[in-house]
């Protein structure tokens, strides 16, 4: 709310895993009574980012990028453009 007030906006998007929280959703929906427009995804679309990771892996695989069994997890590795 602080950011919305400072920016003078009446439009708020609730996103990420936290947007699946029913209590938080209810609190944001209440803001519509104060003239705010609230956008948020269906809960099925905000459970975690596994679908995004799977999609990125799929497109890397079909473009020919594969790794051997020596690949180790790097939790903060950035997903890079194939051309970079």
The 10s digit of each residue's pLDDT in 28-54 is: 999 999 999 999 988 877 766 777 788
CA gap 53, 17 in Å, rounded: 14
CA gap 27, 78 in Å, rounded: 33
Check whether 82 has a pLDDT greater than 60. Answer: no
Question: What residues contact 19, with CB distance under 8 A and at least 6 apart?
Answer: 25, 40, 41, 43, 46
Assign 62 to helix, strand or coil.
helix
| pTM score | 0.53
pLDDT of residue 20: 85
CA gap 3, 28 in Å, rounded: 14
Check whether 84 has a pLDDT greater than 50. Answer: no
């Amino acid at each position: 709310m602080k950011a919305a007030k400072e920016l003078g906006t009446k439009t708020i998007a609730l996103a990420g895993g936290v947007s699946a929280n029913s209590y938080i959703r209810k609190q944001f929906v209440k803001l519509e009574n104060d003239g705010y427009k609230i956008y948020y995804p269906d809960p099925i679309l905000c459970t975690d980012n596994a679908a995004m990771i799977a999609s990125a892996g799929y497109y890397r695989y079909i473009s020919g990028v594969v790794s051997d069994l020596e690949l180790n997890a790097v939790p903060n590795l950035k997903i890079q453009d194939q051309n970079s």
